[in-house]
Structure 1
């Protein structure tokens, strides 16, 4: 009987893992630090070149953008699965512009989370893709 109990405990221990793709790590919500931007009209961009530390904080309803610790944008958003210009259907961040026509334009962005990295791709020809690292 002791052998079976030890075998059961051992089996449970080896079946547990610390997978970076767990649901907690695969969530869009959290704080993300900008690493780089590539492509688009402006070409590549890096925090070192811009002298700005950009952090985005995503809740289940808002995206707050900070530059060097100062809030510069506070936007409501929702997630939609839409056809991507890159092919197939992808989950996209869509900014809620409300009924105002004076709000800034915003291009929908498809997103992908790989481990502790977030990739945001603007859904337009010759637009950019930005990479972020999860802070928390």
Structure 2
């Protein structure tokens, strides 16, 4: 009986601690349309869906799953994590998104400092000097 109590308490503490360590993602969940990527050395990179000829969507789910769609077709999916890292821009701890297996999409920043500029505008910056940042608009 005593062993059952220990197992129950261990399970309860394990589940509680794993949920406490999750960084809130409720404001990030939804489907986001990529609008542009800018930056680079001397701010020479400027990419848009029109220039690439592709419509890209990033979907972030509450259960920390993501998918990337190109022209309406899912091309990648997996999990993502959020951690707190020091931003080179604000010198403060900010949320940092990392996609599983370091998923990448050419011309779009998908891992880095993630923040909402407005409720419907999401930015992901690679947190590098002379780096890149991508902007996304929330799907209506």
Where on the TM-score scale, by shorter chain, does this alignment land: which range? 0.5 to 0.7
Alignment equivalent of 2:122, drawn from 99, 114, 118: 118
TM-score scaled by length of structure 1: 0.68
> In the alignment, what sits opposite 1:12?
none
Counterpart contact for 1:107–1:124, Cα < 8 Å:
no
Moved over 6 A (4+): none
The question of 1:39 aligning with 2:39 is answered yes
Deviation per residue, 1:43-65 (Å, 9 max, x gap):
01011111100111111312211
Q: Which has the larger helix fraction?
A: 2
User: How many residues of Structure 1 are paired with residues of Structure 2 in the alignment?
Assistant: 106
> In the alignment, what sits opposite 2:98?
94
Tell me the distance in 1 between the aligned counterparts of 2:121 and 2:86: 23
Q: Which runs of 5+ in 2 are unaligned?
A: 1-25
Q: Which runs of 5+ in 1 are unaligned?
A: 1-25, 98-102
Alignment equivalent of 1:64, drawn from 56, 63, 67: 67
- Residues 92, 53 of structure 1: CA spacing in aligned structure 2 closer, same or farther, 3 A cutoff? same
Deviation per residue, 1:66-123 (Å, 9 max, x gap):
11112122131111111122221111102233xxxxx667974111111211111112
Compare CA radii of gyration and give the structure with the larger one: 1
TM-score scaled by length of structure 2: 0.66
- Residues 59, 89 of structure 1: CA spacing in aligned structure 2 closer, same or farther, 3 A cutoff? same
> In the alignment, what sits opposite 1:74?
77
Counterpart contact for 1:107–1:123, Cα < 8 Å:
no
- Residues 75, 126 of structure 1: CA spacing in aligned structure 2 closer, same or farther, 3 A cutoff? farther
Tell me the distance in 1 between the aligned counterparts of 2:35 and 2:103: 24
